[in-house]
A and B are shown apart, each in its own frame.
Chain A
């Protein structure tokens, strides 16, 4: 018998008492089975904690200028990560800046997932011209140089958290639509979909209750990856000056303001860069871990 049948023969795990919370907790507990998921989850949790607790933990107000610190802006006992060129505490700004990233990125990706899943389900389920239109429009969006697209749209409509979210959601949706479409094309031929048709279920029911739940594994993995990419994009937008308007702290903006002083005061731009990297790596490791766990099933 193969390993798979061996596993199949294992006594069924005691079925959890009905309750979404319990089963969700069990899923989260499974993250402990994978090292990448542990490290990635740890990094992400660290930044979430920083963001949530910023008002309590941040040693200084994020926009307070301490001109005296400019004499020695490097990390010190008073300013653990030093100050920037205007004498603002970098640690405090990172903590407050995490709030932007961790609010904008998930909401934007969630928006992309919702739009993308819906379009992908429609394309994969109905096929034919519906698929043609959805897939081609998606291709056009994906073939556009996104940074230029962002600049045009944000320059026209102005830079705000909402606009950034909308822009990212729309441009990322086609990627998710593609994934969901592929899964739907395969799952729509399954016998359980036939059985649903034979008891007279509507197409919407079949798409959302028979097909979509089985796409959740790949979707969750992709969600984490996409969070990482979106973190980078938000950083880039800030760096290009079309992120959130100043003076509120923004990781990309922090790099933009100080990269000219790289040779003199490298910490001012490198520390925010490291923050972006650590969060992106966190999301990516989480995605890798989740994939590992889902493949084990």
Chain B
């Protein structure tokens, strides 16, 4: 990969980047060296706060007023970006250097049409005339596989879905044939199936346009999908770099090993072993230790060698570098394999939570005056159950109704029809205001967003203490003692009681939220994507914590997630939802083995796998989710299904095939046939039938 004869396209030469803050100089990047050759794709991974985005911003020289490159150089096409004039910068930005950000909605101007935004780029950079620019824009939209490019040109950003918007942003970045494309978490906000499609597109375009890519992601699986080489960043240093194959097969830095190990790869489950975690968190850039920044979190750290002098970069051959003194002494790397155990599952135990024929419809309103008369069927005949002390996981893409289901259970909205029974007591029609305190105590919730789950004005002690006083009727003093105990349960020091949320990291906030939910000793805990906003290392710790709590307290979990690997790891039962319907339900072990519902199959195949040796052909779902206002009369998935059998799918609702142990699939294809099809491998890509 690293051809010595080619001069690199981008080269960081011991670049040191700092932000000048009131409190002093925050040296975010202490001295970074790496290079990208023309046409090469390099991935950059690491936890948040490791300096990945700073690298991207430094390349574009968007560091803001406080940030500057204090020494070293950032060479792009042989010239130092840090010393270029504004005029020169303007000429290369957007032309030679392009960037794709995480949130496509904020990269596109909401008041201009897609066409005018795309055409602007060649008009400004290439002096193209309008006709030529239009032709270029149309061709690019075709290349990013947006159907009906001509009509997309006239649309506004809000008229496109998130995946389509990101395609437009990619088209805009590539329209001038840049030599380097910087992508900062380009698929993070997208659903797995959309993410898979965008990643494949990036791979394909890269080969066609011969652009080099710097691909920043916190998800190792997406990096594997797109890149040739990978750089692992920790505390602003590139602790390891090399080819994807080399680094994944033989990680030379303990941090890389930690990142790989804490992933719940498909095939592992909680009955096997707990996930490994990386204790602690990234240190402050205001004060750096003299030795290795990772030493205090590292299982292999040796007092003295690792902690006193700066660590040199070791060469492991083939361009594989690791910044670790012990890299040659590390034991050979063994990837943690599918350790799955068997959960004891007594089918005769009555369900803790039983949902039957649940419906929730919203009336659609429009503007000031009104009711459009249309209804949105957010939940449409949903059946599922959760056994006491077990985890029921609900998976599906955004818009499938999983969050609505959580809201009905928690009483924040009430059901339209059907039954939700908690220990035989109907709760679906009882709004949260009308629930007796005993029911509130029984059922608590952990929310998705760590930044909005805690009130910024309240201290941790107040938050937990208040919940104890309300739910358990404790006095102030009793609550104080109990708060300390709960903090201990979620593995936080008692001092945390005095902290305010802005002094906590994302993982700590989520722990506090769990402690708050535990205050009333709930029997059922709803967790709505509790780990999706967290770094992988923190995610692993929270997952372990939840599982431990379940074993100790026999709490029933309703775990909502879009991440199949996490679901596989956590769940005893799984419900796969699509457009307000459960398309597949059953015990986890059975749902994750053929026969799959074609939608489950697509989800599984789209999930990014952080292993370069296991990158199979994937099923790409085309088209967008149909609108929930006018659902097709037949199978909800028929418009995107790669295994659609014919008109029957559009017209007749699929039968629920019972496959034993409560496993059921709603599909027209008989289960035996599904098994045969799915054991044979993924079907060839099927074009959109939109």
Contact = CB atoms under 8 A, between A and B. Distances in A.
Nearest to A191: B447
Given A1-B48, A1-B53, A198-B445, A9 B19 contact: no
A52 to B, nearest CB: 32
B411 to A, nearest CB: 7
Nearest to A296: B22
A198 B284 contact: no
Contact of B470 (A18, A199, A297): A199
A3 B49 CA distance: 10
Contacts, number: 104
Given A6-B285, A9-B282, A10-B286, A192 B452 contact: yes
Contacts of B435: 200
A143 interface: no
Contact of A6 (B21, B432, B440): B21
A199 B440 contact: yes
A22 interface: no
A189 B66 CA distance: 34
Give the secondary structure class of A's interface. helix
B461 to A, nearest CB: 10
Interface in A172-212: 190-192, 194-195, 197-201, 210
Interface string A59-82: 000000000000000000000000
A220 to B, nearest CB: 13
Q: Which of B433, B452, B505 has the most chain A CB atoms inside 10 A of its CB?
A: B452
Nearest to A193: B455
A2 B500 CA distance: 22
Given A210-B455, A214-B455, A9 B284 contact: yes
A5 B49 contact: yes
A12 interface: yes
Given A10-B26, A15-B499, A194 B445 contact: yes
A214 B49 contact: no
Given A5-B48, A194-B410, A194-B412, A200 B285 contact: no
Nearest to A11: B284
Contacts of A192: 452-455
Interface in A214-267: 214, 216
A198 B467 CA distance: 10
Contact of A197 (B26, B432, B467, B505): B432
A15 B284 contact: no
Contacts of B516: 195
Contact of A18 (B50, B449, B498): B498
A2 B457 contact: no
B562 interface: no
B412 A197 contact: yes
Interface in B500-528: 500, 502-503, 505, 513, 516-517, 519-520
Q: How large is the interface on B (under 10, 10 to 19, 20 to 34, 35 or more residues)?
A: 35 or more
Interface residues of A, number: 30
Interface string A5-27: 11111111101001000000000
A139 interface: no
A18 B53 CA distance: 37
Q: Which of B49, B64, B443 has the most chain A CB atoms inside 10 A of its CB?
A: B49
B627 interface: no
A154 B467 CA distance: 50
Contact of B285 (A2, A9, A33, A195): A9
A62 B190 CA distance: 72
B53 A198 contact: no
Nearest to B498: A15
Contacts of B433: 197
B471 A199 contact: yes
Given A6-B285, A9-B284, A194 B447 contact: yes
Q: Which of A11, A198, A200, A201 has the most chain B CB atoms inside 10 A of its CB?
A: A198
B470 A200 contact: yes
Interface string A26-50: 0000000100000000000000000
Contacts of A13: 503
A195 B453 contact: yes
Interface of B: 19, 21-23, 26, 28, 48-54, 57, 64, 66-67, 282-286, 410-412, 432-433, 435, 437, 440, 443-445, 447-449, 452-458, 466-467, 470-471, 498-500, 502-503, 505, 513, 516-517, 519-520
